[in-house]
Chains A and B, each alone.
Chain A
Amino acid sequence: MSLRTEELLLNMGPQHPSTHGVLRLVVTLDGENIKDVWPDIGYLHSSVEKMMEYRTYVQNVALTDRGMDYLVALNNEAAYCLAIEALAGVEVPERARYIRVIFQELNRLASHLVWLGTWGIDLGATTVFLWCFRERERILDLFEQVTGGRLHHVYFRIGGVYADLPDGWTGACEAFLDYFLPHVDEYHGLLTQNPIFEARTRGVGVINRRDAVAMGASGPVGRASGIAYDVRKAAPYEVYDRLEFDVPVHTEGDCYARYLVRMEEMRQSVRIVRRALRDLPDGETRTRVPTTMKPPRGEVYVRTESPRGTLGVYAVSDGGETPYRVKIRAPSFTNLYALTEMMKGWKIADVIAILGSTDIVLSDVDR
Chain B
Amino acid sequence: MQKYETVIGLEIHAELCTESKLFCHCAYTFGAAANDCTCPICLGMPGTLPVINKNAVAFAVRAGLAMDCDITSYSKFDRKNYFYPDLPKNYQISQYDLPLCQNGQVTFDFNGERRTVALRRIHLEEDTGKSVHAEVTGDATRSFMDFNRAGVPLLEIVSEPEIHSPEEAIAYCRAVKEILEYIGVSDCNMEEGSLRCEPNLSLRPMGSQQLGTRTEIKNKNSFQELLDAMQYEVQRQARILDEGGEVIQETLLFDASTGKTAAMRGKEEADDYRYFPEPDLVHVQINADWLTEIQPTLPELPAARRERFIADYSISAENAEFLTATRHLADFFDEAVQCGSEPTACANWIMGDVSRLLNAAEMDIQDAKVTPAHLSELIQLINDATISGKIAKSVLDDAFETGKMPKDIVKEKGLSQITDTSEIEAIVLQVVEAHPGPAQDYRDGKKKAIGFLVGQVMRATRGKANPQLVNQILTRVLSEE
Do the two chains bind? no
